[in-house]
Amino acid sequence: MSETRPIPWRRILTLTIGVALTVAALVVAARHIDFARLASANPAWLGALALGVVGNIFATSAVFWVITRSFDATPPVGFGKMTQLIGASALLNYLPLMLPAGQVGRAAYLKVKNQLPLHQSFLIVMIVLGVSALVMVVAGASAALDPATIGLGTPMRWAFGAAGIALIALASGPVSRMTLRRKTWMAWTWAPLRAVDLLVISIRLYIAFQIVGQPVTFAHVVVAASAGMFVSLLPLTPNGLGLREWVVGALTEAMAPTTGGMGLAASVVDRGVEAVVLTVAGAWAMWKLKRESSG
């Protein structure tokens, strides 16, 4: 008799909460959106937003690929294969199958195809979370820094951010070798690659604000994007569904009260384009993985 799997109530609950928060964000955002302007949005902006999502897939893949190279995958995982796995994971993480479906599926695939131990896949995710948290704190704090307070020009906030990322990069090699007790591969790239990922997310959000007709400063966008990215990494709702929108909306409103509900509106637009791109890219990636596995 086959064993019946328990219904993943926790995953279904988090998905339900995420959908409810997203619907609430849509309702609130609808009060502030000029739908005529939205309908006549420059297609180039929407195309740039879609390209940004693709850029995030590649940037995230690069982070996981470089870190995975420091572990015992045999044969080593290629960048193309990691990109397929990240694309499939991003889509699967929305499904109420397991917590989180994408990460579990990726770990299972690497265990079977590349003999990567499951505990090492878990450790890789923890390293990504740790590096991401450091990068987001440094970038967010630098962007939030008031140049008038420190008596220096605005460009210095970005110099502080770059210096912070550089320090994390320099420390990554020695710290990782000490804690992991193994030789790491290009550990100095972990933080810069994650910073590129965050930069692309910030550009996406900046474009989304242009689409809804509410320009904001790029510094404010970086702060909101940093918080939104961190929320997306936490297993609270699938891919931060709903929570990311409200966090971005709340932060942009706190930093620039004149935006009204446009922070929510911009985040919803960004999520909508992201969902479309991830559906296409994730479906293609899963098809490629299945085809190669059965071939």
Q: Is the pLDDT of residue 97 over 80?
A: no
**pLDDT grade, residue 32 (50/70/90)?**
low
Mean pLDDT, range 68-82, rounded to an integer? 95
- What is the model's pLDDT at position 3? 45
- What is the model's pLDDT at position 2? 42
Closest CA relative to residue 268, chosen from 49, 100, 90? 49
Q: Is the pLDDT of residue 37 over 90?
A: no
A 10 A CB-CB count for 169 gives 20
Per-residue pLDDT reduced to its tens digit, 198-255: 999 999 999 998 888 877 888 889 999 999 888 888 777 777 778 888 888 888 888 8
Q: Give the whole-angstrom CA distance, residue 14 versus residue 36.
A: 34
- What is the model's pLDDT at position 149? 54
- What is the model's pLDDT at position 99? 53
Closest CA relative to residue 160, chosen from 132, 141, 188? 141
- What is the model's pLDDT at position 39? 65
Region of 141 on the Ramachandran plot (φ > 0 left; ψ -120 to 50 alpha; else beta): alpha
**pLDDT grade, residue 151 (50/70/90)?**
low
- 55: number of CA atoms within 13 Å, CB side? 18
Mean pLDDT, range 148-165, rounded to an integer? 74
Write down the residue that tokens 């470089």 correspond to.
Answer: 66
A 10 A CB-CB count for 90 gives 22
**pLDDT grade, residue 260 (50/70/90)?**
low
What's this model's pTM, rounded to 2 decimal places? 0.88
Amino acid 211 reads I
- What is the model's pLDDT at position 93? 79
- What is the model's pLDDT at position 153? 58
Whether 282 contacts 91, CB under 8 Å: yes
Write down the residue that tokens 């850029």 correspond to.
Answer: 55
DSSP code string of 183-238 = --SSGGGHHHHHHHHHHHHHHHHHHHHHHTT----HHHHHHHHHHHHHHHHSTTSG
What is the chain's mean pLDDT, rounded?
Answer: 84
Mean pLDDT, range 54-72, rounded to an integer? 96
Q: Is the pLDDT of residue 1 over 50?
A: no
